[in-house]
Chain A
Amino acid sequence: MKTKLAILLIVILLALLPVYAGKYAVYVVIHILLLSIFSLGFNLLFGYTGLLSFGQAGFYAVGAYGCAKILLAYPSLLVGILGGVAFTGVVSLALGVLCIRHTRIYFSMLTLSFGMMIFSLAWKWRDMTGGDDGLVGIPRAPLEIPGLFSVNMVPMENYYYVVLAFAFLAIALFYRLVHSPMGLTLQGIRDSETRTACIGISVRKYRLISFTIAGLYAGLAGALLPPLESTVTPPLAHWGHSAEPVLATLLGGIYSFSGPIVGSVIFYLLKDIIVRFTEYWQICLGIIVVVLVMGFRGGVASIFKRKGGRP
């Protein structure tokens, strides 16, 4: 009951955010929501399926560039976002077929390699991606279904609600997935591949499903970025960006549903605060992350779990 009330309160606070908070707070919360979606997808692979990917930023970038290209050619927000996500789905399915044949460090290195290949493509394929300049002038196109409605997205507050709606949908679907038979199957694979195969389950098939869904989540987070920033650049695909959902998830807790969300809030706020005080923010952030990870084994979300509520 307490958990439900807390969730309701958070939903109300988020829904009313543009009313009581300034533009910067809205901007920060949009980034936290994007990182949460990104981290949830990552944790489907890591916490639920037992596969550590270092290349999720590649899929984030595919979603971002896909959405940006569509918006530059056809300024419709829904078409841009959904097109970016669909494009990422195809790419993650294709790369997944190659990656899921391996596990442990071999899987991690493969994902790192493919992620960096995408980074190289973004950097070098100037005609398509704009090279190191990236793609600029991406419009925050109206949210419209021709003949039905059209909402102006130029005010950031309006776009915030689009991101919030996608984030709620992504979180709700994720919750349903991890508490479904398929979610249990993925956890079985995480715990013991041989035992899972031995009860008649195709481990590769479900690894591929998990990989593709994780890619879709990264793609969704990426596709929601260009309308906000009006630009996409190659560092989105860099392995350093892949580390963000890893750190956020470790901070929040890998074995709980809410861990990646809690971790995303902490990670982004820490980064945002520290960066104001020192140019060596990465050292400070690193130390804080180490202390938090060592101090809260099982993640910060495990505090709530110990107190009896579902995290």
Chain B
Amino acid sequence: MKAIIRTEKLGKYFGAMAAVHEVNLSLQEGLFTSVIGPNGAGKTTLINLLSGFMLPDCGAIYFREKEITRLAPEKRVKMGISRSFQVMNIFPRMTVFQNILLAVLSRLDKTSSALSSLQSQKEAVAEAEKTLGEVWLQEEKDFPAGELSHGDQRLLELGIAVAANPQICFLDEPSSGMNPIERIKVLELVKKLAAERKTTFIIVEHDMDIVFSLSDWIVVMNRGEVLAEGKPGDIRENQEVRDIYLGEEI
């Protein structure tokens, strides 16, 4: 299997604190990968670095062996790298449909069209409708996004992320704030989208039951470093991971 994204001695430091320190990762295409670790382990910083929302202080990032270390986020999206955020990040004043449509228009390079109507963008409209259905939001299509329930806003954020039709998509706690049943549903949806759209998902998640049941590969971080990585069974048996993060009950 090929590495879709790879890092070499990646580092990000805030004063004396190492948020990410000499991380060497090679994430494989097609594997549903989870990044886990205690609070402050550097998971979100790692995603910010990989998606371009933070620039590293040292090291390098390669996407399909092409260096993207200092590439702007919007250019990474055009290459096929998408993400969602830990704190909800949608377009609250726009309708649910417009949220998805804008992402599709961007992918189709139609955002600079100033004199055509939105309705005339037939390809984008059809694709946005399809994506809405995929994330179960067809009935909420015309609602202002900011008025959706928390769970639906999470689904919308997932919809925006996949509307870019990414090759790799980072989801930072996609089920946070949801009840256990909603969490399972959402993460199963992510797995389904991964299969249907052939997108490699990398998720940060705190629910270990879900992580171990859905993931093909798990990366464990602690204090900015990769403590361990491997298949769920291997991680579960790793004594260091159990001592630092999982505890004995897993």
Give the shortest distance, in Å, between B72 (CB) and chain A (any CB). Answer: 8
Task: Say yes or no for A179: interface residue by CB 8 A criterion.
Answer: yes
Stretch at the interface among B28-36, B82-90, B134-142, B217-225: B82-90
Q: In the bound complex, do residue A194 and residue B93 qualify as a contact, i.e. CB atoms below 8 Å apart? A: no
Instruction: List 14 A-B residue pairs with CB atoms under 8 Å apart, sorted by A's residue number.
Output: A181-B113, A181-B114, A184-B105, A185-B105, A185-B112, A188-B91, A192-B89, A194-B85, A197-B74, A198-B82, A200-B75, A200-B78, A201-B102, A202-B74
- Chain A residue nearest to B110 (CB atoms) is A181
Tell me the chain B residues, 101-133 only, with Cβ under 8 Å from chain A.
Answer: 101-103, 105-107, 110-118, 121, 124
Q: In the bound complex, do residue A198 and residue B78 qualify as a contact, i.e. CB atoms below 8 Å apart? A: no
The size of the chain B interface, using a CB distance under 8 A, is: 39
With beta carbons under 8 angstroms apart, the residue of B51, B113, B124, B163 that contacts A182 is: B113
Please encode chain A, from 176 to 202, with 1 for each CB lying within 8 Å of some chain B CB and 0 for all others.
110111111101101110111111111
Enumerate chain A residues within 8 angstroms of B107, measured Cβ to Cβ.
199-200
Q: In the bound complex, do residue A181 and residue B111 qualify as a contact, i.e. CB atoms below 8 Å apart? A: yes
Q: In the bound complex, do residue B102 and residue A185 qualify as a contact, i.e. CB atoms below 8 Å apart? A: yes
Task: Say yes or no for A42: interface residue by CB 8 A criterion.
Answer: no
Task: Say yes or no for B5: interface residue by CB 8 A criterion.
Answer: no
Q: Identify the interface centre among B90, B92, B98, B102: most chain A CB within 10 Å of its CB.
A: B102
Task: Say yes or no for B226: interface residue by CB 8 A criterion.
Answer: no
Number of A-B contacts (CB under 8 A): 105
Known pairs A199-B102, A200-B74, A200-B77; A192 contacts B113 (CB<8 A): no
Using a CB–CB cutoff of 8 Å, the interface residues on chain A facing chain B are 176-177, 179-185, 187-188, 190-192, 194-203, 206, 255
Taken together as a complex, chains A and B put the C-alpha atoms of A199 and B98 apart, in Å, by: 13
Taken together as a complex, chains A and B put the C-alpha atoms of A188 and B115 apart, in Å, by: 18
Known pairs A184-B105, A188-B102; A198 contacts B114 (CB<8 A): no
Q: In the bound complex, do residue A184 and residue B102 qualify as a contact, i.e. CB atoms below 8 Å apart? A: yes
Q: In the bound complex, do residue B91 and residue A192 qualify as a contact, i.e. CB atoms below 8 Å apart? A: yes
Taken together as a complex, chains A and B put the C-alpha atoms of A183 and B105 apart, in Å, by: 12
Give the shortest distance, in Å, between A62 (CB) and chain B (any CB). Answer: 23
Enumerate chain A residues within 8 angstroms of B160, measured Cβ to Cβ.
195, 199
Q: In the bound complex, do residue A192 and residue B90 qualify as a contact, i.e. CB atoms below 8 Å apart? A: yes
